[in-house]
Amino acid sequence: MAAPEREICSTSELLDIFHNEDLTWDWFHMVFFKGEVFVCKKCRRRMTIQMNDKNYRYWNCSHCKIKKSVLDGTVFSKSKIGLGKTLRTLLLQWVGISINNTAELIGINRNTVAFWASVLRVVCMKIWNSKQIHIGGKGKIVEIDEAVWRRRKCRRGRRKEQIWLFGGVERLDGGGAGPRFVIIVPNRTKETLLPIILEYIKPETIIMSDEWKAYEC
């Protein structure tokens, strides 16, 4: 049985797939690379997928002996727990299972779950922003705002990590909210925020902010 292509699977179907290493790799290849076969950069021959002793798949050119991990260039290249466990972790985080319960269900460390949860947030924001970048325009109003998102750094510790979010939303003519962007920023200084405004908001937009006076960008 091959992993289904372009078919939306339910959470339990995906969990079944990610419990089986072979199906997981087939699924990954279909979803991330559309089943495409890589060509060797050096000799232009088609590469084949092979498996190492740790069950990781890599592209191999039998002519040049060049090897390249299937995970290269994806967020999963950082994973140390295997592709199946990583995908199951992401899936449980996606459906809202707590970090503690995810760690227990998958049998991994809480910190590892927290790491993949943060990857998931960043990826979601990138996808969102890639679809709705460059908002506003001549005579349009964009409201910008900052928000802080605090989370405890370690379980018993009192230290809290501050994560600053900065975003903008275009005000539609009818008064509703239009396209927007939200990104994580290291701080809220003008030096940090101005380049972001210039990148995300079109020229000649009227920018409104509680903190900053309205001005034309």
**42 lines the binding site for Zn ion (CB under 5 A):** yes
Residue 57 C-beta: closest distance to Zn ion, Å: 18
Among 30, 40, 99, 141, contact with Zn ion (rule: CB under 5 A): 40
* Tokens 């090897």 -> residue: 67
19 contributes a contact to Zn ion by CB under 5 A = no
Tell whether residue 61 is a contact of Zn ion (CB under 5 A).
yes
59 binds Zn ion (CB under 5 A): no
Burial class (CB in 10 A: 0-12, 13-18, 19+), 10: exposed
Side chain identity at residue 138, one-letter code: K
Looking at 2, 37, 64, 154, which residue binds Zn ion (CB under 5 A)? 64
| SS3 assignment for 65-133 | CEEEECCCCCHHHHCCCCHHHHHHHHHHHHCCCCHHHHHHHHCCCHHHHHHHHHHHHHHHHHHHHHHCC
Nearer to Zn ion, 63 or 153 (CB): 63
Asked if 63 touches Zn ion (CB under 5 A), the answer is yes
Query: Which range of residues in 23-31, 63-71, 108-116, 154-162 is near Zn ion by CB under 5 A?
Result: 63-71
What is the contact surface with Zn ion in residues (CB under 5 A)?
40, 42-43, 61, 63-64
